[in-house]
Structure 1
Amino acid sequence: MRLYPAIDVKDGQCVRLKKGLFNEVTVYSERPYEIAKGFEEAGAQFIHTVDLDGALKGHGVNAETIKKICSSVNVPVQMGGGIRTLENIQEVLDLGVYRVIIGTKAVENPDFIKAAIDRFGAEHIVVGVDAKDGLVAIEGWEKVSDKTALSLALAMKDIGVQTIVYTDISKDGMLAGPNVEQTKILSDKTGIDIIASGGMSCMDDLTHINDAGIHGAIIGKAIYEKRIDLKEAVNLFESGASYSKASSMPKADISFKDLKLDANGLIPVVVQDYVNDEVLMLAYMNEEAYNKTLETGIMTYYSRSRQELWVKGLTSGHFQYVGSLDIDCDNDTILAKVRQVGAACHTGNRTCFYRNIKTWNR
């Protein structure tokens, strides 16, 4: 089971609401990025964030805070709140967010979700299904639609959605336990990844979610109120799984002198997205680039065209944060798995490999 520690942002602060009520606010930190760093240090492999002001106003409000959270950690961040247009999605991804959560728009215009998946890929689009008494709530939970949670979830599956965050609003921020029964129904009926949200209060709640075969759980207030120890929960429910998949692999103590280089003294680097293994690009490293990457955790290459060191994203802002570096059996190719901010390709495409030559259907 995947755990998603939560940071809800209001007025640039880390807060929690009760039942989604904006007049029931508890402030836990004025520096949400420090909370994010603490989550990563505790072993979290994904962080959940919500722009509460954005959810209410229908547009992003806390962009700088979200950007700082993303740049402070090397694990992926998903974010919801105020996302209404394709341009909004691009803006949020450019902040360093890996997955965008869309709620209101999914109810009002399902075709928008289809367009978002077609443009950005299903791995970057999550639908938020927030329910009051079984009916989906929208616009920062201020209004209730006539759609049931299950009907919306099934409709989203039909258009290609792979992940849904399901929140029982009556449970949110109440430390009263999650709605396991309804969440399991969504999980069983749709067969896609359902992330349970609302009411997590103790380790037993997480056990119930895990035993129900549900993909993941968002934990918020229980962490802040010290009812759940995140490090202990990660160790118990994620079995030490690492986002870089490196923890189960043998470590190699390799310096640049151990590598087999090409005629120009360079080694090729195949770059993949560490969440879905999408191949993003191919680049090259010299010794300086290799050592700088190891030192900073930011992918650095040698540009053959400019004949100079190249910190990926230094001018575009599309940095690549290292998840893992692996070497092949012949020591002549590096495989880098990264958290890609924005586009990997200079053309503005997510990957450099966006043109198909031919596909064989066998």
Structure 2
Amino acid sequence: MRLYPAIDIKDGKCVRLKKGLFNEVTVYSDKPYTIAKEFEKAGAKFIHVVDLDGALKGYRVNAKAIKEIVDSVSIPVELGGGVRSLENIKEVLDLGVYRVIIGTKAVENPEFIREAIKEFGPNRIVVGVDAKDGLVAIEGWEKLSDQTALSLCLSMKEMDVENIVYTDISKDGMLVGPNVEQTKLLSDKTGINIIASGGMSCMEDLENVSNAGIHGAIIGKAIYEKRIDLAKAVAKYESFDAFSKESKKEVISNLNWSDCKLDDKGLIPVVVQDYVNNEVLMLAYMNEEAFNKTLETGLMTYYSRSRDELWTKGLTSGHLQYVSSLDIDCDYDTILAKVRQVGAACHTGNKSCFYRNFFIRNI
């Protein structure tokens, strides 16, 4: 399960609201970027940020604070609040934000989501589904639509949405536990990666979300109120030990080195993908020793053709890759590795080595 520690920004400060009410505000820091650095130090792999002023006003407000957060950490950041146009999305991505959460616009104009995914890719677009009394709320949770959470999620599936943040507003900031039943229903009915938000209060809540097979959980007030120790939560739910026991068995049973067709140097190419959103991160090569070390340690290990030696991704930079699964293609000459990427995969600092975009249009 992926954990998303949360930073909500209002007037440039890190705050938490109760039930989404803007007159029920608690300020935790006037320097949100310092909170982000603490999250990364605790082992967080992703940070969830909300521009509360932007959500209410319909346009991005706290750009300075958001930029400071992105620049202060090496892990990816997702942002929601006030994103209502393709130009808004580009502006947010240009700040260095990894992916953008869209809420109100998904309700008012579902086709906009299709356009956004076509323009920026499904790994960059997340839909925020915020519900109150079973109905989806919009415009900073100030208005209720006539659409149910399930109907909206199903329509988003048709738009090729891969990730949805589901918030039960009645539980947000209340430390009363998440709505596991409804979140699991959305997950089971749609098959989309559902991220549970609202009400996380203790490790038991995270355990309930994990046991329900839900993709991820956003944690906010419980961290600030020291009810959940983020480092301990990461160790339990996102560490290699927590993650790899079953995946190691799957790796060993799905792929044997003797099945692979190697080049004349005993190497095989490895295409590496993010296990969460299937984004292609990089291409590398393995020999038998690198393959065996990957299985033994759970850390992606490759063979460097230029240095003529093994290298474990991230040992120097800290941007480790934890193996999720290894599969072989139909011709047995390429390995597909799905990994949990810490920080950037590319030596340039980009999340993916494939960050330069071009296309060929047939006329």
TM-score by length of 2: 0.73
1:50 aligned residue: 50
Change (3 A) 1:83 1:357: closer
2:205 aligned residue: 205
Q: Which amino acid aligns with 1:139?
A: E
Q: Map Cα deviations across residues 283-307 of structure 1 (whole Å, 9 max, x no partner).
A: xxxxxxxxxxxxxxxxxxxxxxxxx
Change (3 A) 1:344 1:203: closer
How far apart in 1 are the matches of 2:117 and 2:357? 18
CA drift at 1:325: 10
Is the CA contact 1:96–1:341 (under 8 Å) kept in the aligned structure 2?
A: no
How far apart in 1 are the matches of 2:73 and 2:148? 36
The gaps in structure 1 that reach 5 residues or longer are 243-247, 249-269, 283-323
Is the CA contact 2:3–2:218 (under 8 Å) kept in the aligned structure 1?
A: yes
Is residue 2:306 matched to residue 1:331?
yes
How far apart in 1 are the matches of 2:69 and 2:204? 29
How far apart in 2 are the matches of 1:280 and 1:89? 25
Q: Which amino acid aligns with 2:39?
A: F
Give 1:186-201 correspondences, 5 Å limit.
Answer: 186-201=186-201
1:120 aligned residue: 120
How far apart in 1 are the matches of 2:79 and 2:4? 11
CA drift at 1:328: 2.9
How far apart in 1 are the matches of 2:219 and 2:50? 13
Is residue 2:330 matched to residue 1:355?
no
How far apart in 2 are the matches of 1:237 and 1:279? 23
CA drift at 1:354: 3.0
Q: Map Cα deviations across residues 195-239 of structure 1 (whole Å, 9 max, x no partner).
A: 000000000000000000000000000000000000000011113
CA drift at 1:241: 7.8
Q: Which amino acid aligns with 1:166?
A: Y
How far apart in 2 are the matches of 1:70 and 1:241? 28
How far apart in 1 are the matches of 2:282 and 2:54? 31
CA drift at 1:351: 3.6
Q: Which amino acid aligns with 1:330?
A: R
How far apart in 2 are the matches of 1:33 and 1:351? 25
Change (3 A) 1:271 1:82: farther
Change (3 A) 1:344 1:193: closer
Q: Secondary structure at the match of 2:164?
A: strand
Q: Map Cα deviations across residues 51-88 of structure 1 (whole Å, 9 max, x no partner).
A: 00000000000011101101100100000000000000
CA drift at 1:337: 1.2
Q: Map Cα deviations across residues 85-122 of structure 1 (whole Å, 9 max, x no partner).
A: 00000000011110100000000000100000000000
How far apart in 2 are the matches of 1:142 and 1:103? 13
Is the CA contact 1:273–1:338 (under 8 Å) kept in the aligned structure 2?
A: no
Change (3 A) 1:40 1:281: same
Q: Provide the aligned length of Structure 1 versus Structure 2.
A: 288
Q: Which amino acid aligns with 1:202?
A: C
2:333 aligned residue: none
Is the CA contact 1:79–1:100 (under 8 Å) kept in the aligned structure 2?
A: yes
Q: Secondary structure at the match of 1:167?
A: strand
How far apart in 2 are the matches of 1:226 and 1:279? 35
Change (3 A) 1:277 1:121: closer
Is the CA contact 2:282–2:346 (under 8 Å) kept in the aligned structure 1?
A: no
Is the CA contact 1:95–1:341 (under 8 Å) kept in the aligned structure 2?
A: no
Identity fraction in percent: 66
Q: Map Cα deviations across residues 315-355 of structure 1 (whole Å, 9 max, x no partner).
A: xxxxxxxxx9976343359988149889999xxxx843533
How far apart in 1 are the matches of 2:11 and 2:241? 34
Give 1:180-191 correspondences, 5 Å limit.
Answer: 180-191=180-191
How far apart in 2 are the matches of 1:60 and 1:136? 21
Change (3 A) 1:212 1:56: same
- Indicate the RMSD between aligned Cα atoms, in angstroms: 3.1
Is the CA contact 1:272–1:279 (under 8 Å) kept in the aligned structure 2?
A: yes
1:67 aligned residue: 67
Structure holding more helix per residue: 2
Change (3 A) 1:63 1:147: same
Q: Secondary structure at the match of 2:358?
A: coil
1:163 aligned residue: 163
2:280 aligned residue: 278
Is the CA contact 2:166–2:195 (under 8 Å) kept in the aligned structure 1?
A: yes
Give 1:1-362 correspondences, 5 Å limit.
Answer: 1-240=1-240, 276-278=278-280, 328-332=303-307, 337-338=345-346, 351-352=355-356, 354-355=358-359
Is the CA contact 2:19–2:173 (under 8 Å) kept in the aligned structure 1?
A: yes
CA drift at 1:47: 0.3
Q: Secondary structure at the match of 1:127?
A: strand
Change (3 A) 1:271 1:53: farther
1:287 aligned residue: none
Q: Secondary structure at the match of 2:345?
A: strand
